[in-house]
Amino acid sequence: MARITAGVASSHVPLLGVASDFDKDRDDYFGPIFAGYDWTREWEKAEKPDVIILVYNDHASAFDMKIIPTFAIGCGERYKSADEGWGPRPVPDVEGHPDLAWHIAQSLVLDEFDMTIINEMDVDHGLTVPLSMMFGKPDAWPCKVVPLAVNVVTYPPPSGNRCWALGEAIAKAVDSFPEDLNVQIWGTGGMSHQLQGPRAGLINKEWDNMFLDGLIGDSDHLRRIPHIEYLRETGSEGIEMVMWLVMRGALGKKTRALHRHYHVPCSNTAIGHMVLRPDNGEGLDMTGSETVSAIAAE
């Protein structure tokens, strides 16, 4: 049986992709950001996930204003890195998992989530930057990916509550997939940032950390945060954090935090990153290696 063994949250600022591609990731500016992912890179090597369900948003790359799906799931065989205006990122193609993706898509529709199905598309920094942050620069990504795109550009995006419920339905779908698969779910984007207008540059450390705290344990209060609060408190682009709630919803009633990282700034944005384990008596710890246990014990 397939199961969701962990949730990972991460910002997906395009500049992080540039830093990785041009080997600037350990300089004075980017060093402290990437250092916060070192723990996760070691942990992922031990976890060896088979598939990542990667919740992200497209930034006017695969989707323009012609079609705006609220929730879309990638059921294709593979996805190329998108040309976002300065050539595609030199990263490996992303391999899909059509069997699992179609299973999830069908299951979600029966659960009354009316998904858009994507068979062909390119994937932009929203999806490839988190892969670079978690896996570095391999010749091929170490696992398959099911892209799950959320509209957080044209208002209204889905509510936090709906995102959380989608996560719950995804977990249920994964549970009913017959093949034995180690599946992670990642929520990406955020944290506080505003890229437009005279208020651009807004950062709210206090609110961001309240949000990180809220992902841990058995409270589900984050799902009730209305859009207007994200807008006022975290800037016009902070709304991306609803995508983290898809991830959180998929982890069940209770979680515990394995790792947490927060840094300001990266370009216009506050970087947030967290690794969560569902904590509902499943005993899903895959970390066998002593290195990782040692790091985890610190």
Is 193 among the catalytic positions?
yes
Measured from the CB atom, the residue of 39 and 230 that comes closer to other proteins is: 230
The nearest distance, CB 294 to other proteins, in angstroms, is 33
Q: Is 133 exposed, middle or buried (0-12, 13-18, 19+ CB in 10 A)?
A: buried
List residues bridging with 260 in a β-sheet.
Answer: 274
Measured from the CB atom, the residue of 159 and 182 that comes closer to other proteins is: 159
d(CA 84, CA 89) in angstroms, rounded, equals: 9
The nearest distance, CB 83 to other proteins, in angstroms, is 6
Residue 21: which region, alpha, beta or left (left: phi > 0; alpha: psi -120 to 50)?
alpha
Q: How far is residue 200 CA from its own chain's centroid?
A: 24
The nearest distance, CB 61 to other proteins, in angstroms, is 8
| Contact predicate 261/37, CB 8 Å | yes
The nearest distance, CB 257 to other proteins, in angstroms, is 22
Nearest of 18, 9, 15 to residue 40 by alpha carbon? 9
Measured from the CB atom, the residue of 46 and 264 that comes closer to other proteins is: 264
Q: Give residue for tokens 């979680």.
A: 255
Exactly one of 12, 193, 263, 273 is catalytic; name it.
Answer: 193
Which residues sit at the interface with other proteins, rule CB under 8 A? 14-15, 59-61, 64-66, 83-86, 111, 153-156, 159, 161-162, 165, 168-169, 172, 192, 194-205, 207, 220, 226-228, 231-233, 236, 264-265, 267-268, 270
Provide the 3-class DSSP secondary structure of residue 230.
helix
Is 125 among the catalytic positions?
yes
Measured from the CB atom, the residue of 269 and 287 that comes closer to other proteins is: 269
Q: How far is residue 253 CA from its own chain's centroid?
A: 19
Q: Is 85 exposed, middle or buried (0-12, 13-18, 19+ CB in 10 A)?
A: exposed
The nearest distance, CB 234 to other proteins, in angstroms, is 8
Exactly one of 12, 97, 103, 125 is catalytic; name it.
Answer: 125
Q: Which residues are catalytic?
A: 125, 193
